[in-house]
Amino acid sequence: MQSPIQIIFRSKMYTALFLLFFLLCLGVAGYVIIADYTFVDAVYMTVITITTVGFGEVVPLTPEAKLFTIILILTSVVVVGYALTVITETILSKNNLEELKQKKMQKQIDGFSNHIIICGYGRNGKQAATKLLAHSKSFVIIEKNRAIIDKFQSEEIRFIEGNANEDDVLLQAGIERAKTLITALPDDADNLFVVLSARQINKDLHIVSRASQETSYKKLKLAGADNVIMPDRIGGDHMASLVVVPDLIEFIDNLSIVGKSDINIEEIEVEKLYDTNDIRTIKDLDLRSKSGCTVIGFKGIDGEYIVNPEAEVKLVPNSKIIVLGRPEQIQKLNSMYNLD
């Protein structure tokens, strides 16, 4: 999709080309009619007049033809000057256009808060971005490969070119205002360095890191990562589970956690469900009869999870519930409590 600036430059270029063509046609027609030139002589005379190369006339001009030539010269000075300006501006603006686009994108990023930063746009980074985009989350991607940025950058996917290991690049991505950082770089050492740098800048940041080696897991945890994901281990476990409990895994795979209209599972902060000054229980909310959704999990303020919690579990402040339902039931729940 072309930007408004690109459309303006293209429009100017078309206008300049049209004026040059019109001027050429006007000159040819004028010399044919006024000076009684042949078509070839008229074209030749028009070209040397417009370009002001200074060659002599094909045949001596009549007073009327001389007057027409004066008008053609004055007109061509304006039209050709405009055309050259537009062409030069278009050539020079390619770099300026990229600079303007980057400034515009940086201004948008500077307005972000509680957003997500993804370091690296490889396989894992791309999957993370796709999920976040489906869930309408604000995120910024740090990527050092210019070719990848040029290929995937859009109004929805915002990139910052640079090395995520550098503090200046992290600050440019708004790490001091960010809520979560996902570092999905292919090298564990790079991920470790990013985690260390990010944790120093923002103590409250939730950090999720990718790891390839078992030995890197504890190091990343010690460096400050809240969660460490090993894609190879997850993939192996998943394949083995498809052999041991295939129907169960297939059922889980069919659950959609994020998306626009097909969500099956939702995590909800209890503060969004009711006024926590008057503590209620899961039974008091009665979400099953109101929306059809079932509470399948509870996360307490200590971070501990309870699977299939009892109806009498108290929904204290800063706790969360996990609900399961069909997409239309989840949508009904979201609409009922304005969770969208």
Q: Identify the CA nearest to 231 among candidates 137, 116, 125.
A: 125
Q: Which domain holds residue 204?
A: 113-235
pLDDT confidence of residue 143: 95
pLDDT confidence of residue 156: 84
Question: At 296, which helix (H) or strand (E)?
Answer: strand 294-299
Does residue 207 share a domain with residue 221? yes
pLDDT tens profile 238-258: 788 888 888 877 777 777 665
Where is the domain boundary, 108, 135, 167?
108
What are the structure tokens assigned to 159, written together?
Answer: 């990139």
Indicate the SS3 state at residue 139. Answer: strand
Does residue 15 share a domain with residue 126? no
Where is the domain boundary, 108, 125, 140?
108
* Cα separation, 160 vs 138, whole angstroms: 14
* Cα separation, 103 vs 100, whole angstroms: 5
Does residue 103 share a domain with residue 138? no
Mean pLDDT across 98-115:
84
pLDDT confidence of residue 8: 67
In a domain, 248, yes or no: no
- How many separate domains does the chain show? 3
* Cα separation, 100 vs 95, whole angstroms: 9
As beta bridge partners, residue 140 has: 117, 158
In a domain, 122, yes or no: yes
* Cα separation, 49 vs 56, whole angstroms: 10
pLDDT tens profile 24-51: 999 899 888 988 888 988 888 888 888 8
Residue 83 contacts residue 23 (beta carbons within 8 Å): no
Does residue 103 share a domain with residue 117? no
* Cα separation, 198 vs 192, whole angstroms: 10
pLDDT confidence of residue 13: 80
pLDDT confidence of residue 31: 87
In a domain, 177, yes or no: yes
Q: Is pLDDT larger for residue 209 or for residue 6?
A: 209
State the pLDDT confidence band at 225, using cuts at 50, 70 and 90: very high
pLDDT tens profile 257-299: 655 556 788 889 999 999 989 999 999 999 999 999 999 999 9
Does residue 73 share a domain with residue 130? no
In a domain, 249, yes or no: no
Indicate the SS3 state at residue 269. Answer: strand
Does residue 183 share a domain with residue 121? yes
In a domain, 283, yes or no: yes
pLDDT confidence of residue 233: 82
Does residue 122 share a domain with residue 218? yes
Output the domain CATH number for residue 55: 1.10.287.70
Where is the domain boundary, 92, 108, 124?
108
Does residue 123 share a domain with residue 101? no
User: What pTM value is reported for the model?
Assistant: 0.62
Q: Identify the CA nearest to 301 among candidates 331, 333, 329, 269.
A: 269
pLDDT confidence of residue 3: 54
* Cα separation, 284 vs 41, whole angstroms: 95
Q: Name the residue with tokens 């796709």.
A: 130
Does residue 28 share a domain with residue 70? yes
Does residue 194 share a domain with residue 123? yes
Residue 323 contacts residue 265 (beta carbons within 8 Å): yes
Output the domain CATH number for residue 321: 3.30.70.1450
Does residue 126 share a domain with residue 230? yes
pLDDT confidence of residue 97: 64
Mean pLDDT across 105-111:
88
Output the domain CATH number for residue 154: 3.40.50.720
Out of 80-84, 195-199, 305-309, least confident range: 80-84
**Judging by DSSP bridges, how do beta strands 116-119 and 180-183 pair with one another?**
parallel
In a domain, 223, yes or no: yes
Does residue 152 share a domain with residue 199? yes
